Amino acid sequence: MSDDDPGTAVRRDRFSGGPARKFLSSLAADEAIFEADLAVDRAHVVMLAEQGIVDSAAAGEILAALDDVEAAGHAELPDGEDVHEAIETAVIDRVGPDGGRIHTARSRNDEVATCIRYRLREDLLDVAEATVAAREALVEVAGEHAETVMPGYTHLQPAQPTTVAHYLCSYEGGLARDTERLLDAYGRVNRSPLGAAAFAGTPFDVDRDRTAELLGFDGTVRNSTDAVSSRDFLAEAASALATLATTLSGLAEDLIVFSNKGVVELADAYASTSSIMPQKKNPDTLELTRGVAGDAIGEATGTLSLLKGLPRAYNRDLQRAHASVFEIAGDVREATEVAAGAVATAEWDEAALAAAAGEGFSTATGVADLLATGGMPFRTAHEIVATAAETVEDGDSPGAAAAKVDEAARKVTGEPLSAYVSREDVESALDPAESVASRDSAGGPAPEAVADELAAAEAGIESDGDALAVERDALDAANEALDAEVDRYV
C-alpha cells in the first residue's frame, strides 16, 4: 500500500501524538526536579550574560520570567515532553522569541544530568542527617543501659549474655558506616555536568566552573560525554540507600522478635492494635521499616539493570533512572526516623532480660574460657562444658550448675575442677552479669569497654554532624550567591 493510500493516513493519524507522546513524556515525574531545573536555568543564564553570550537585558527578562514560572508552580506548566521543554516554553510565552536564548550553549542532556545531581545531593544530605539522629538515639539509650544484661543469640538460639548497650552500639556502628557511604556518594554526586551540551561540548565560550560555583557544586564532570551519559552516581546512591535500609531492617526484625519475647515494649506511637483483637499490640511501623528494605534493594538492582549495556551517550532509557531513586531516598529517610523513634521510646524490661540472659546455659563459653585460663587446653574445656550442657537446666542455681560441670570434668579428664580453678570462680562465671563483666576486651560488652565505645561513637557522631553542616552551609551560601546574581539582572 502506498503512502498516498487513505489507509496509511488513517494509521498515521491514529498513532501520531496520542499514546506515543504520553509514553515519551516525563513531565509529571519531573515535578521532582522542577525546583532544580529553575536553579540550573538561572545559573546558566547568569553565566551566559557574564560571558557576553546573551545581553544583560535579555538575561533580565528571562530571569524575571523564571520567577513567574516558579510562582505559578509545576502544575501550571504548558504541555511538554519534559519539565525542561515546558519551562522553556513558559519563558518564551512570557518574553517572546528572546526567551529562547535560555537554551543557548546547552542541551537537555547536560541540563537533566545537572538537575538530577542537584536534587539528589539534597536527598542524600537529608538521609545522612537522619542516620546521625538515629545514632544519637541509639547512643543515648545505650548510655542508660550499660549494665542491663540481656541474652545474646546466634541462629536465634541463646548464645552468650550481653548488654542492651553493647547490642545497641552494634547498630550504631552499622549506621556510622551507612553515614560514611552516603557522604562518600554525596561527594561524587556533587559535580556539575552543565556545559557539556549534548555530549560533545559547545563552540560558545561558556564557563563551566562558574555555573558549578553558582549551583554549589564542588567542581565539574570534565569529560563532556561522561558528563551527560553517566548515571553511576545514581547506582551508587541507590546502593548506599539499600545498604542503610538493610541495616534498619535488621534492627526492626530484632525489635519485633524482642517484642514477641516480652522483653521490649514499643511505645503506642510505634505500634497499632488489631481491628478485631483488641488485646494485641502490633509492631506495624517496624514491619513497614523492614519492608522498605525490599523496595530499596529492588531499586538498586533496577538502576543497575537499566544502566547495563547502554551505549556511551545519552539514551532515553535514562529518563526512567532517577525518579524512583528520589522516592526511595524519601522512604529510607522516613524509615530511619521511625526506627530511631522506636528505639528511643521503647521500654526494656530489665528483670525479664536478666532472667532470659542465662537461658540455654548461655554462660557455658565463659566457663570454658575460665578453665582455659587455668591451664586447661581450650578444646578439653569445651568438651567438659559440652558434656555438662547435657544435664544443666535453666532452673539450676550457680552452685548446682557448677556441681554438674565438676562432674563432667571428672568424667572427661578424671580430675576435679579444683585442679584448675576454684569452685567459687566457676559459680561466678556461670552468672550472666559476671560473665559480661569479664569480657572487657576492646569492643566487648563489659561496662568499661562499652563506655569507651560510647565515647568513640559520640565523637564520630559529632564529626559527621559537623561535616553535614559544612555541606549544608555551602549549598545555602551558593543559593544566596545565585539569588544575588539574579537580582543584578532582574
Q: What are the residue numbers of the active site?
A: 155, 274
Phi, psi of 415 (to 5 degrees): -125, 150
Q: Say which residue the cell 553517566 belongs to.
A: 230
DSSP string computed for 429-466: HTSHHHHHHH--STT-SSHHHHHHHHHHHHHHHHHHHH
- Contact by Cβ (8 Å): 356, 257: no
Q: Say which residue the cell 546502593 belongs to.
A: 239
Q: Say which residue the cell 559527621 belongs to.
A: 464
The answer to whether the Cα torsion of 460, 466, 469, 474 is positive or negative is negative
d(CA 193, CA 199): 10
The answer to whether the Cα torsion of 127, 129, 133, 134 is positive or negative is positive
Residue 293, SS3 per DSSP: helix
Phi, psi of 348 (to 5 degrees): -95, 120
- Contact by Cβ (8 Å): 336, 264: no
Q: In angstroms, what CA-CA distances link 148 with 145, 167, 305, 349, 469?
A: 5, 10, 46, 9, 35
User: How many CB atoms lie under 10 A from the CB of residue 451?
Assistant: 13
DSSP state of 78: P
- What are 222's three cell numbers? 570534565
The answer to whether the Cα torsion of 426, 432, 433, 437 is positive or negative is positive
- Contact by Cβ (8 Å): 206, 195: yes
